[in-house]
Structure 1
């Protein structure tokens, strides 16, 4: 069973492994795996461009976000996708990339080159890392729908894509990443926001650890 901390849910390690394997069978499932490696918000994830990736230093610069907006002056318009800047200074950040993320990016680039050749002049090169097969921005609504489908196939329900970000933070707590470092990874404006996550996780970890001492003292 997935674990719930406060108002959010995270995947256990076993569920995360199952999610990753299922995501590999889905177009752009790599974006969810990348999210588990970086803890990006969905809008940040879909706005990543190749120019934001520093392969020399193995890091990602978060400098923009993608969102669905509606023109208030156009009653006939439904919604459109729009790039914007992160809302807070803390959200503009540099996130180090582990080897899993780097390997994934190289695979994405290979697939993208194949899509460009196949689409020819129909391909719209927006410089996006995660894009449609024609190079266009991915619709956040479609990404959520695909996420739900992946979860359903591995027997999970009631989850939101944001749980991947919380799962990233939880894995960090489980592996002793300092809360102040995680704050910078996540782009939280205050350390309290990050600490709330860590407090819940560490309480759970301590509860499990004390069980190892059950037989240390006989009574």
Structure 2
């Protein structure tokens, strides 16, 4: 997904997910960006913004007023929200490499600090943009019981995808829920 500024409804705090920008490797060995519809009909959706997302879009807009807006035109579409340092759209591989550099730098520093403090290092495991989406969905499932709402916001075509993630909540959350239930229901 790569929203355009036109897809952001600040007044109602909504994001219209109606396209995605894909990076395709072509037969000639080159790669190109293309705009396409989401993979499934369910992928086209309007989702509400959390306050932090709303603020991040506001901040990004203000920053781009200073440094310049995304100048990319892809398949006749323009006005993409996120801009790389050259004023174009981000390549997903570039974002994942940046994430990797951040956690690898942290881990290297943490190993040194842990050694100095004679403790086990707290290492950040490998993760990517897709892991962040999955983590968001897992946290969402931990805090929302309406699976159809989760499915609609996540854009899952099939409810089984949502249910698989919903069923995969953390052990800590399972324990928390049982402890909470125990306080509310007297079994004996």
Q: TM-score range by the shorter chain?
A: 0.7 to 0.9
Larger RCO (CA within 8 A; separation ≥ 6): 1
Q: Does 1:91 align with 2:46?
A: no
Count of residue correspondences? 162
Residue 124 of structure 1 is aligned with which of 65, 71, 89?
71
Output aligned runs, 1:13-162, within 5 Å. 44=1, 47-72=2-27, 74=28, 77-116=29-68, 124=71, 126-152=78-104, 153=106, 155-162=123-130
| TM-score calculated relative to the size of structure 2 | 0.76
Structure 1 residue ranges without an equivalent (≥5): 1-43, 118-122, 214-219
| 8 Å Cα contact 1:66-1:84 kept in structure 2 | yes
User: Does 2:147 correspond to 1:195?
Assistant: no
Task: Give the gaps of 5 or more residues in structure 2.
Answer: 73-77, 108-122, 183-188
User: Is 172-181 or 102-111 further displaced after alignment?
Assistant: 172-181
Task: Provide closer, same or farther for how the CA distance between residues 141 and 202 of structure 1 changes in structure 2, counting only shifts above 3 A.
Answer: closer
* Shift in alpha-carbon separation, 1:177–1:96, aligned structure 2, 3 A: farther
For 1:184 and 1:97, the matched residues in 2 are separated by: 14
Look up the SS of the partner of 2:11 in the other structure: coil
Q: Could you tell me how far apart the structure 2 residues matched to 1:107 and 1:80 are?
A: 29
SS state at 1:128 partner? coil
Instruction: Tell me if structure 1 keeps the 8 A contact 2:5–2:79.
Output: yes
Deviation at 1:176, TM superposition (A): 2.5
Distance 2:48 2:145 in 1: 13
Report if aligned partners of 1:172, 1:182 keep a CA contact under 8 Å in 2: yes
Tell me whether 1:183 sits opposite 2:130 in the alignment.
Answer: no
Q: Which moved more, 1:91-100 or 1:203-212?
A: 203-212
Partner of 1:21: none
Secondary structure, aligned partner of 2:83: coil
Query: For the Cα contact (< 8 Å) 2:8–2:15, is it kept in 1?
Result: yes
Report the secondary structure of 1:130's partner residue: coil
Superposed CA deviations along residues 30-80 of structure 1, whole A, max 9, x for unmatched, are xxxxxxxxxxxxxx1xx21000011111010111111221222x2xx4212
Alignment RMSD, CA only? 2.5
Contact 1:179 1:194 in 2 (8 A): yes
**Mapped contact 1:115–1:133 kept (Cα < 8 A):** no
**Residues 71 and 87 of structure 2 are in contact (CA less than 8 Å); yes or no, is this contact kept in structure 1?**
yes
Instruction: Give the TM-score normalised by structure 1.
Output: 0.66
